[in-house]
Amino acid sequence: ALDLWISATENWRRIRTWGMEEKMIPIHADATQMLFADEYFDAIISLDAYHYFGREKGFFQEKVLPMMKKGGTALIAVPGIQREWDGPVPPIMKEWAGDEWDYFHSCGWWQSLLQEGYEDVMEVNTWEADCFDSAWQDWFDSGHEYAMEDLKCMDKGLREMTNFVMIHIRKK
């Protein structure tokens, strides 16, 4: 459980409540500086984080793929958009995401970024998650101040242009 924004102690508490003490190790670190051995992981999971650091072509193949065992799996879930913009970015997107509006992309964009040129070493599949409404509702129900700001933007039209992008990668 490598995380830059959540302490190892907080993640360790969560890991224990899941009963995963023998399968997960909490580490407080930057995902762009992972120092794990090659072919170490059977599975790598990233939730609501990869879009912050993995948008550059070749990042996954150079930084993440070597750590996966042959036949290993990566599962990535990121907030996204239903389709790439044809023109200017909608004002509501800039209001919601600020300078980070370009962190959000479509399933097709992620598919191209991750797969093109690497078909011989990995298989990539992307799709929109079915849990969009329920996931957001859980966040809104938390009452967190950021959740309330997100809800305002969703009600102004953001809901109709966003999604959750699911990515499955298998190393050949």
13-53 confidence digits (pLDDT tens):
999 999 999 988 999 999 888 889 999 999 999 999 999 99
Q: What is the pLDDT of residue 115?
A: 95
How long is the chain? 172
Q: What is the pLDDT of residue 60?
A: 97
Q: What is the pLDDT of residue 17?
A: 96
Picking from 122, 120, 153, 121, the residue whose alpha carbon sits closest to that of residue 136 is: 153
At 129, the amino acid letter reads A
| Entry pTM | 0.90
Which residues, given as ranges, of the chain have pLDDT below 70?
none
33-68 exposure pattern, b = at least 16 Cβ within 10 A, e = fewer: eeeeeeeebeebebeebbbebbbeeebbeebbbebb
